[in-house]
Each structure stands twice: as structure tokens, then as C-alpha cells.
Amino acid sequence: MKLHLKTSVAQPYKAVLDGFTVDLFKALSPPFPRLKILRFDGSSPGDRVEVELQAGFIRRRWTSLITERQVTPQEAWFVDEGQELPAPLTFWRHKHLITHEGTHSTIHELIEYRTGSLLLDWLLYPIFWAQFWARGPVYRQIFGRVK
């Protein structure tokens, strides 16, 4: 299953890329399930991000590896790929793409995930869509609103 959400922000694309820090990661964390950050190396190839998802007494680990990072004259991106995923996920690939749009930038959330069940993939779609849609106001607050 694939998702693509976009948010326009006021800062240049390279500044936005540099803004993907642990503080931004904390600000983007959904209210549920809560995330406990166990490790955050950054957004360069070989970096790891490990979190514990907390839903009441249930705890699940999610570990991602940064596999790509690229900066071109018009865009920048990095990719995190799930290494240890909470059930029912069996595959996760998230490309954080920031494109140059003249006087501003657009942040693209390009997500691909699988559970092994097409029905379950479709059932999770609105949940993931809502969680990543909720990042838009955070991005605009941190990187500025396009006027």
C-alpha cells in the first residue's frame, strides 16, 4: 500500500532537510500510540532510529535504518526502511522528499507498507493517512507557513 501526502512550507528545501532532528521527530510523534525514543542517530545512510510504541501496557519496538540520502539542485530526500516492525507490519519504506518550489519548499511523505494481507493494508490506510496528515501543521509551525 502506498501513501503520498504533501505540505508546503516557507523555508528553503536544504534548511528543511537540516531540520529533520530528534526535536522535530518528537514534535511529529502522534498522540497515540505514544513513542519512546530509544535511539536517534540522524538521517544519513547507516543511521538508526529505534522507538518503542506504547499503548497502555502494550509495548512494541520499531527500528528503522536510513538507507538513502541525496541532495540535488532541486530536491533533497532521505529514506528510512523498517528493520524491526510491530505486528502486523511486514514491510515499511518511508521517503522524506523535500522539493524546491521557487520561494518555498514542499515536504512529501512517500510511504509504502505491507502487512501480508491486502484487507489489513486497506484497513490501516486511513489510520496511517490521518497520522501523517497530522504532521502538516507541525511542519508549518516549525518551517513556516507559505503566504
Q: Report yes or no on whether pTM surpasses 0.85.
A: yes
| Average pLDDT of the residues in 75-99 | 98
CA 145 to chain centre: 19
- Rounded CA-CA distance 49/64 in Å is 5
Structural domain including 132 reads: 2-31+66-143
- Rounded CA-CA distance 10/103 in Å is 7
- CATH code for position 15: 3.30.530.20
Report the percent of the chain where pLDDT is more than 90.
96
| 45 domain residue, yes or no | no
| 12 domain residue, yes or no | yes
Q: Is the pLDDT of residue 84 over 90?
A: yes
Report the percent of the chain where pLDDT is more than 70.
100
| 122 domain residue, yes or no | yes
Beta strands in the chain (DSSP E): 2-9, 34-40, 48-55, 58-71, 75-84, 91-100, 105-114
| 119 domain residue, yes or no | yes
| 36 domain residue, yes or no | no
- Rounded CA-CA distance 80/64 in Å is 6
